[in-house]
Structure 1
Amino acid sequence: MMKNLFYICILSLLFFSSCKSGSSMFSSSKSGSGYKGISRVRTYEFTHPDVPTAFDGFRIAFISDLHYRSLFKEKGLANLVKLLNNQHADALLIGGDLHEGCEYVQPLLAALSGVKTPMGTYVVLGNNDYEACYDDIVRGLQKYGMHLLEHKVDTLRRDGEEILIAGVRNPFNLKKNGTSPTLGLSPDDFVILLTHTPDYAEDVPITNTDLVLAGHTHGGQVTLFGLYAPIIPSHYGKRFRTGLKYNSHHIPMIITNGIGTSNKNIRLFAPSEVVMIILHQQKD
């Protein structure tokens, strides 16, 4: 009996060590933001073998679904800018659904231009942004030097090494946009795919992607103690509601609750949040 138990333990150790080697690892934490209008900061430590040495400790701030001005108004926007600057992010990524009215686009982008990061701000758009004010948004992003990634890939360089940020154009129109911008990239690169809806990462092949960032679901926005949401804007139901999830090819996705609200100006057990991702190089 003891001999068999010994062999089982050895096999288990070999199995888990082989799973860990060459794969990604996550740890996460949550804390109150301390700023009215944003409930919490959710931090993910992401360790991956493709993260270059120069990007070990690289800090990414990720926000989405501001829906300005919904429940998220002027005071909340000012607090968001302060909060993001206090996070000392190296880059800011924005996942779309910026506004709830064309008159709010320019004030929103002007305020967000006050977020200072060494490597800039990168944006994809959501369904609200394609339905109205698209030209206003594009002009505003250009005015403030923010990078719009519509089926484009941008390169972040540090100390002779690089990571790639790929952005999806209108992920709801798969007839036009159903080929992921990551397909032509190298599997050896560290690649982040920014898309408004998490469904895109399941609907189409996203080969060469190491991490997906998405929003759109609002964490359900109105939930029963965070356990059940009657309305989730995803055709996969609660599967991609919030947090760290994986598509069918086991590519990790971080899905944020976002910041603003749509339809009704209420959140219930789906707190608004800023997401921080800290990259780490996996050591042998």
Structure 2
Amino acid sequence: MKKPVLYLLLAAVLFTSCATASLSKYRGVGRIKQYDFYSYDVPSAFDGFRIGFASDFHYESRFTRKRLDNAIRALQSLNADVLLLGGDYGSPKGGDMDTLFTALGKVLTPYGIYGVMGNHDYSYCYTKVAEAMKKNNVHLMEHKSYKLMKDGQHIIISGVRNPFDLKKNGDSPSQHFPADDFILLLTHTPDYAEDTDVSNANLVLAGHTHGGQVSLFKKYSPVKHSIYGNRFLTGRKENSAGVPIIITNGLGTSRMNVRLFTPSEVVLVVLHRVEKK
């Protein structure tokens, strides 16, 4: 092989390795991404409340059994008050849901663990996921809401049932509460926040896009996991009504086991109360 070709190959390997390298100390988890969220509606008792969020495990895909323990350690390191799960736990290739949720059950938080289902779960493994959730005390949120109480005050977490079937679902569960409540809406796909009235929600958490798996400048990806193209690719966005959405890259992969400029991640959202002047 001629030297110029060899150098190009070595450069390509190095470039790809750097583009997908872990930025966290937990091998197999690319990064821990923190968002600080400020709102007048955050009750004073929940100022500093820590919300762990993980999605799109696709267990086992690129996210294999070898990476599971490190992901659990990364989630434990968040010191979260509550852990939320965004769906797509299984994959067409299989992956034991009992193993996954037994591991997730080791992430102990004062307010427990809550999760919604993703499109892969509805297609391949709904019953297995639901049974594994129940066995490990993970609350399945199928258009259900829970009130988290602290020092006589509360916030609401609402979970969306199959966000791809809007006709069956009716209105968003977040719309069933007073507008002055602090409401966090958990849905698998960010498109739901654009397709449905979620105006009562203060914050939406979503996954599904994987950050595109391959992207440029966190804005462009050749693979579209959303009917809105790259609009809701990753990070903090807003729907047309100005409701903020945090979209995670997730932990696993689908279709192809590759990531480029889209590190796998777990998310920490810290709530902050803003006092009205």
Q: What TM-score do you get using the length of structure 2 for normalisation?
A: 0.89
3-state SS of paired residue (1:212): strand
Task: Work out whether residues 218 and 233 of structure 2, in 8 Å CA contact, stay in contact via their aligned partners in 1.
Answer: no
- What residue is the counterpart of 1:162 in the other structure? 154
Q: Alignment partner for residue 268 of structure 1, among 260, 264, 268?
A: 260
- What residue is the counterpart of 1:185 in the other structure? 177
3-state SS of paired residue (1:237): coil
Establish whether residue 58 from structure 1 lines up as the match of residue 49 from structure 2. Answer: yes
- What residue is the counterpart of 2:72 in the other structure? 81
Q: Root-mean-square deviation (CA), in Å? A: 1.3
CA apart distance, 1:138: 1.0
Which stretches of structure 1, 4 residues or longer, exceed 6 Å deviation after superposition?
none
Q: Alignment partner for residue 60 of structure 2, among 69, 82, 87?
A: 69
Establish whether residue 33 from structure 1 lines up as the match of residue 24 from structure 2. Answer: yes
Establish whether residue 92 from structure 1 lines up as the match of residue 86 from structure 2. Answer: no
Task: Work out whether residues 171 and 178 of structure 1, in 8 Å CA contact, stay in contact via their aligned partners in 2.
Answer: no
CA deviations over 1:37-57 (Å, ceiling 9, x no partner): 111111111110111111000
- What residue is the counterpart of 1:174 in the other structure? 166
Q: What TM-score do you get using the length of structure 1 for normalisation?
A: 0.87
Establish whether residue 194 from structure 1 lines up as the match of residue 186 from structure 2. Answer: yes
The percent identity for this pair of structures is: 53
Range 239-248 or range 223-232, more displaced: 223-232
Establish whether residue 112 from structure 1 lines up as the match of residue 104 from structure 2. Answer: yes
CA distance in 1, matches of 2:233, 2:170: 22
CA deviations over 1:130-178 (Å, ceiling 9, x no partner): 0012111111111111111100101111111110000000000111014
* Amino acid paired to 2:98: Q
CA apart distance, 1:97: 0.3
CA distance in 2, matches of 1:178, 1:110: 33
Residues paired across the two proteins, number: 254
Task: Work out whether residues 90 and 124 of structure 2, in 8 Å CA contact, stay in contact via their aligned partners in 1.
Answer: no
CA distance in 2, matches of 1:160, 1:153: 18
Q: Alignment partner for residue 209 of structure 2, among 213, 217, 235?
A: 217
CA deviations over 1:176-227 (Å, ceiling 9, x no partner): 0141011111111000000000000000111310000000000010124544
CA deviations over 1:84-116 (Å, ceiling 9, x no partner): 111110000000001114542111111111111
- What residue is the counterpart of 1:43 in the other structure? 34
* Amino acid paired to 1:259: L
CA gap 1:173/1:240 in 2 versus in 1, 3 angstroms: same
Task: Work out whether residues 96 and 129 of structure 1, in 8 Å CA contact, stay in contact via their aligned partners in 2.
Answer: yes
- List runs of 5+ in structure 1 lacking aligned partners: 1-30
CA distance in 2, matches of 1:135, 1:280: 37
Task: Work out whether residues 61 and 276 of structure 1, in 8 Å CA contact, stay in contact via their aligned partners in 2.
Answer: yes
- What residue is the counterpart of 2:196 in the other structure? 204
CA gap 1:225/1:52 in 2 versus in 1, 3 angstroms: closer
CA distance in 1, matches of 2:129, 2:94: 9
